[in-house]
């Protein structure tokens, strides 16, 4: 058989594998958040999910999109950022609705059970994006406040990027900040586990999903010769995942101390 006789089969297979890898790259990052979203809707409890995760991923992916205008990288990575932004906004919307609903329920129950005004537990005052109070930043009462914040950040950083788009130093720094921010997403979880000397309340399955997803993503970066910032920070993200898995092994086989707090199931990297 001639060397080129199998090209009719190999070329379509290579193309299929390429499409599959690109699809996994675009949608793989949001897969871990699907069970989290469904769980919050089912239980009407968002305590196990930190909305700061949404903040970090929104910032990281907005910066990555702006980086694309200065240095064009593979389109699947661009679409991944767009899909992730949409996913994080949906998570924010659900968490805000659930939190506000629970606060109102607590208020109604306290009024019904209270014998005097001194025993009433009032719901926290509504907070707005325009309050400019750092103590309540990212703890607002309406989803529209989060949208306004995201649009403001996008507008300001977009304008700065437009002014400095011709500076290669600025563009490369922007790309590094984008992927480094996302790479640091697991560090607070790592530190929290260290402080508690326990991983109770953290989903092991989700950690394995992070690790496999981050490993695939890093290999994709390297094989497709993505900007070096992507590969370096991808490796850093894998190392953080491995460190968390080591904590799981260490604290389950060699308990350090009893956990004194009430642990909430968490199926995502939490801040």
Query: What pLDDT digit, counting tens, does each position of 147-186 carry?
Result: 999 999 999 999 999 999 999 999 989 988 988 888 887 7
* Residue-level pLDDT at 18: 67
**Token digits for 258?**
């009893």
Greatest alpha-carbon span in the chain:
92
- Provide CATH 1.20.1280 ranges for the chain: 184-255
What is the C-alpha to C-alpha distance for residues 127 and 133, in angstroms, rounded to an integer?
A: 9
Fold adopted by 184-255: Monooxygenase (1.20.1280)
For the stretch 108-137, pLDDT in tens is: 433 334 444 444 445 455 666 666 667 778
- Cβ atoms of residues 148 and 131 within 8 Å: no
Quote the DSSP letter at residue 96. Answer: H
SS3 266: strand
pLDDT band per the 50, 70, 90 thresholds, residue 48? low
């Amino acid at each position: 058989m001639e060397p080129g006789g199998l090209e009719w089969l190999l070329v379509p297979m290579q193309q299929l594998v390429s499409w599959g890898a690109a699809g996994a790259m675009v949608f793989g990052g949001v897969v871990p958040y699907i069970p989290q979203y469904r769980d919050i809707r089912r239980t009407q409890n968002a305590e196990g999910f930190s909305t700061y995760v949404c903040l970090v991923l929104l910032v990281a992916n907005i910066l990555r999109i702006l980086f694309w205008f200065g240095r064009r990288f593979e389109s699947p990575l661009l679409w991944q950022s767009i899909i992730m932004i949409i996913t994080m906004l949906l998570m924010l919307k659900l968490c805000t609705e659930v939190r506000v609903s629970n606060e109102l329920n607590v208020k109604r129950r306290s009024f019904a059970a209270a014998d005097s005004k001194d025993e009433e537990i009032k719901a926290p005052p509504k907070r707005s994006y325009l309050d400019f109070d750092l103590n309540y930043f990212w703890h607002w009462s309406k989803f529209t406040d989060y949208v306004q914040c995201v649009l403001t950040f996008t507008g300001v950083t977009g304008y700065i990027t437009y002014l400095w788009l011709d500076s290669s130093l600025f563009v490369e720094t922007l790309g590094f900040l984008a992927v480094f921010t996302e790479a640091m997403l697991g560090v607070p979880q790592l530190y929290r586990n260290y402080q508690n000397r326990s991983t109770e309340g953290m989903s092991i399955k989700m950690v394995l999903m992070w690790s496999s997803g981050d490993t695939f993503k890093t290999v994709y970066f390297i094989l497709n010769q993505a900007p070096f910032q992507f590969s370096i920070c991808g490796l850093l993200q894998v190392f953080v995942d491995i460190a968390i898995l080591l904590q799981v092994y260490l604290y389950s086989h060699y308990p350090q101390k009893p956990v004194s707090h009430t642990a909430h199931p968490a199926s995502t990297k939490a801040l």
